[in-house]
Amino acid sequence: MAERKRFINVEIPILETTIQVLGTLENLDKKTIKLDLTRQLRGKGLEIVLRIFNHDGKLIAVPKKLELMKAYIRRMMRKRADYVEDSFAAQCADIKTTIKPFLITRKRVSRAVRKNLRNTAKEFILDYVKDKTYNELAEEVLEGIFQKAMLPKLKKVYPLSFCEFRIFETKDLEKIDLSTIKPKEVETPAEEVVEPTEETTEEKEVEKVENKEEVEEKTEEKPVNKKAVKKEEVKEAEKEVAPKKATKKAAKKE
């Protein structure tokens, strides 16, 4: 009898989260998930493709591909500017990866400058990648550390307005040692404990006097509204004039 499908927790160490996926342990092994990280990255349109592995009875999702959305790249493009892109394979400390950098200059540049930018980026990436594992590099690409390290080298050639990796992926994901992948531990800030201090009699008396002064200030008379006073005076004057007019009319009738 086939095992019934149910929601199973899948750990995603690179995102420090767990998600629930419908299926079985055998069925979900080596399946892929695609997630949109635009909200988590505050507007940066990035999609991540994860492959699920069954490791010691637990499901772990490892990043297979990081890709910038076309709409996001289109939004970053500006008029009177050139872009530089490349695609090549790089050897990490454990497996091979495919990297596609994408650069946007601030103004129009010549073909020689674009070629120099492309070659400089490739040299830096090949040298930077060889001493790090694929999972470490994927985390750095997600957090923007890799891009920030590359930007100063490229600015010496020509100033850039955009420096990212359009695609960062691998086809040798099954060769990764899953035991080395562990979720990051998030340190919770310790709560500050404030110890109560005993007040002296003098301090208490000073507080009482200050409280009395505050109460007296609050009970002070509010500023007089001149308009309201004038209206009341006019009404009183009209009341005094009204009986005099009545007496004059009565005298005339007589």
How do residues 141-173 score in pLDDT, each as one tens digit? 999 999 999 999 999 999 999 999 999 999 988
- For the beta carbon of residue 141, count every other beta carbon within 10 angstroms: 19
* Amino acid letter for position 155: K
Helices and strands in the chain, H and E counts: 7, 9
Residue 38 has pLDDT above 70, yes or no: yes
- Residue 166: its H or E element: strand 160-169
Adjacent-strand bridge partners of 36 = 47
**Cα–Cα distance, 105 to 77 (Å, whole number):** 9
The answer, as to whether pTM is greater than 0.75, is no
Q: Is residue 139 within 8 Å of 14, Cβ to Cβ?
A: yes
Higher pLDDT, 86 or 94: 86
Higher pLDDT, 237 or 100: 100
**Cα–Cα distance, 151 to 134 (Å, whole number):** 21
Q: Is 227 helix (H, G, I), strand (E, B) or coil?
A: helix
Locate the domains of the chain by residue range: 6-180
How do residues 24-37 score in pLDDT, each as one tens digit? 888 888 899 999 99
How do residues 176-224 score in pLDDT, each as one tens digit? 877 777 655 433 333 333 333 344 444 555 455 455 555 455 544 445 5
Integer angstrom CA distances of residue 66 from 43, 97, 136, 207:
15, 11, 13, 63
**Cα–Cα distance, 182 to 9 (Å, whole number):** 16
pLDDT on residue 248 = 54
